[in-house]
DNA sequence: TTTAACTATTAGAATATTCTAACTTTTTTT
DNA sequence: AAAAAAAGTTAGAATATTCTAATAGTTAAA
């Protein structure tokens, strides 16, 4: 009996990427990852997870045997981690620059992370780095952006004190720059 | 014989939105819109368009009779136009702020326009308005962002001359604020 | 250790989008 | 107007993702 190696070489779908990210996230939190956990995280039913695990296994992205724990292969880990990084970049932009609420920012980041090329994403991190570094921007500048949003138009308040960002914010952005780790 | 009104009330898929935007774009350029034009614009084959037109017709988003021209209904027009506006907002952000090349910006905008909520999108326009209005930002500030990208780190160049943006840029952003028109 | 409660799998169906191949209508050319 | 070309349609299949219902393993409790 001939058993074919069914590795598909076509591009991953964004749904597959979502599953890899979800599994990656779960391995950070839990000791072991199970079908049920993934189903909950992805907001789908268990049979859906079973079938996706088959797909991911065919592509050598997960190690999985029926009824056992789910583990990412190196290839799967790499993708899951990268999706997580993208998610974080977008989330920081949405929450810390655009001042969007965390819950919503998470949702939107989740959808955007698949659509943006890594080039665009690195432009965005550069932009955030720049905002953080440039003496003409700074924290008060962003604060004025908020006032601007709320009151309409008060840009004359943006005066010129040189100002840096908090260490927390800097660290946050710093981390986003690393592609591998 | 009973003929059901097959209007579906479930949410539009992003593919449907793409088609509506494509048809809207084509009506701006061409006198009449045909299946062939949509197929070209969407990069699909004609039968795919035929079948999508049926779907959109069932939802009362297009007026279409076999072999005739395609027209948007008011409902379809509204959606097509809104998708176009979203596309523009994102494209301006990508090209004018992040300095991404037009062709790539178009691609990415096309994918992002479906994923962002209108709240987030309006935060983004606010942000662009603010950058354009705030005396601490301005055109030279963005220029320094570019230098920053290329050379690594030269934010000390961001000094304090008050500076406004060109009228072209202002107009561009101004237009993006109107939701209806 | 047998039962009960979870957890997970298979089988089969539904939806959405796309394609190719074959056929039909419409338009243009000779 | 007949033939050729272009445009459009239908039918049928493929892929990806999801679901429900029914079944089967696994673990914990009595």
The Cβ of residue A155 has, within 10 Å, a number of other Cβ atoms equal to 17
| B10/A15 Cα distance (integer angstroms) | 21
Mutate to test the interface with B, among A18, A124, A130, A159 (most CBs of B within 10 A): A130
B15 CB near a chain A CB, below 8 Å? no
User: B46 beta carbon < 7 A from strand D?
Assistant: yes
* Better-predicted residue by pLDDT, B58 or A132: B58
Q: How far is B166 from chain A (nearest CA, A)?
A: 17
β partners of residue A62: A72
| B115/A112 Cα distance (integer angstroms) | 6
A124 contacts in chain B (CB < 8 Å)? 98
A116 contacts in chain B (CB < 8 Å)? 108, 111-112
In this prediction, residue B65 carries a pLDDT of 95
Which residue is listed with tokens 């409902």? Answer: B75
B89 pLDDT exceeds 80?
yes
B180 CB near a chain A CB, below 8 Å? no
Q: Do B98 and A120 touch (CB under 8 A)?
A: yes
Q: How confident is the model at residue A121 (pLDDT cuts 50, 70, 90)?
A: confident
A155 contacts in chain B (CB < 8 Å)? 130, 133-135
B169 CB near a chain A CB, below 8 Å? no
In this prediction, residue A92 carries a pLDDT of 86
CB B62 within 8 A of CB B118: no
Q: Where are the beta strands (DSSP E) in chain B?
A: 62-63, 71-72
Mutate to test the interface with B, among A145, A158, A163 (most CBs of B within 10 A): A145
Write the burial class of residue B101 (CB in 10 Å: 0-12 exposed, 13-18 middle, 19+ buried).
exposed
CB A125 within 8 A of CB A173: yes
| B158/B146 Cα distance (integer angstroms) | 11
Q: Which two tokens stand for residue A61?
A: 């992205």
Q: What is the DSSP letter of B11?
A: P
Q: What is the pLDDT of residues B119-140, one digit of tens each?
A: 888 888 888 877 766 666 666 6
Q: How confident is the model at residue B74 (pLDDT cuts 50, 70, 90)?
A: very high
Q: What is the DSSP letter of B72?
A: E
Distance B48 CA to C8 C1' (A): 38
Q: What is the pLDDT of residues A10-59, one digit of tens each?
A: 789 989 999 999 999 999 999 999 999 999 999 999 999 999 999 999 99
Chain C, protein-covered positions (CB within 7 A): 7-12, 16-22, 25-26
| B143/B158 Cα distance (integer angstroms) | 9
β partners of residue A71: A63
The Cβ of residue A143 has, within 10 Å, a number of other Cβ atoms equal to 14
User: B47 beta carbon < 7 A from strand D?
Assistant: yes
| B26/B22 Cα distance (integer angstroms) | 6
A98 CB near a chain B CB, below 8 Å? yes
Q: How confident is the model at residue B7 (pLDDT cuts 50, 70, 90)?
A: very low
B41 pLDDT exceeds 70?
yes
Residue A153, CB half-sphere, CA atoms under 13 Å: how many?
5
A4 pLDDT exceeds 50?
no
CB A16 within 8 A of CB A54: no
| A155/A7 Cα distance (integer angstroms) | 57
Q: How far is A19 from chain B (nearest CA, A)?
A: 18
Q: What secondary structure does DSSP assign to chain A, as a single string?
A: ---------SPPPHHHHHHHHHHHHHHHH-SSB-HHHHHHHHT--HHHHHHHHHHHHHTTSEE--TTS-BEE-HHHHHHHHHHHHHHHHHHHIIIIIS---HHHHHHHHHHHTTTS-HHHHHHHHHHHHHHHH-TTSSHHHHHHHHHHHHHS--GGG---------HHHHHHHHHHT-S--
CB A83 within 8 A of CB A20: yes
In this prediction, residue A168 carries a pLDDT of 62
Which nucleotide's C1' is closest to B70 (Cα)?
A: D8
| B79/B88 Cα distance (integer angstroms) | 14
B126 contacts in chain A (CB < 8 Å)? 145, 148-149
DSSP-derived 3-state class of residue B166? coil
A163 pLDDT exceeds 50?
no
A94 CB near a chain B CB, below 8 Å? yes
A129 contacts in chain B (CB < 8 Å)? 148
Q: How far is A152 from chain B (nearest CA, A)?
A: 9
How many Cβ contacts (< 8 angstroms) between chains A and B? 113
Q: Which residues, 6+ apart, have CB-to-CB distance to A67 below 8 Å?
A: none
A169 CB near a chain B CB, below 8 Å? no
The Cβ of residue A135 has, within 10 Å, a number of other Cβ atoms equal to 18
Q: How confident is the model at residue B166 (pLDDT cuts 50, 70, 90)?
A: low
Distance B113 CA to C25 C1' (A): 37
């Amino acid at each position: 009996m001939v058993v074919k190696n069914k590795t598909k070489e076509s591009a991953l779908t964004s749904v597959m990427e979502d599953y890899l990210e979800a599994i990656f996230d779960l391995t950070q939190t839990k000791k072991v990852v199970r079908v049920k956990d993934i189903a909950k995280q992805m907001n789908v039913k268990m049979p859906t997870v079973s079938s996706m695990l088959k797909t991911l296994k065919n592509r050598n992205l997960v190690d999985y045997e029926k009824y056992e724990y789910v583990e990412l292969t190196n290839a799967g880990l790499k993708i899951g981690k990268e999706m997580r990084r993208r998610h974080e970049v977008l989330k920081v932009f949405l929450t810390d620059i655009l001042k969007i609420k965390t819950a919503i920012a998470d949702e939107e980041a989740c959808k955007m992370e698949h659509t943006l090329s890594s080039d665009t994403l690195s432009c965005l991190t550069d932009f955030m780095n720049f905002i953080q570094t440039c003496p003409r921007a700074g924290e008060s500048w962003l604060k004025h952006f908020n006032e601007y949003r709320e009151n309409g138009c008060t840009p004359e308040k943006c005066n010129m004190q040189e100002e840096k960002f908090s260490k927390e914010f800097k660290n946050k952005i710093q981390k986003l720059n690393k592609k591998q780790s």
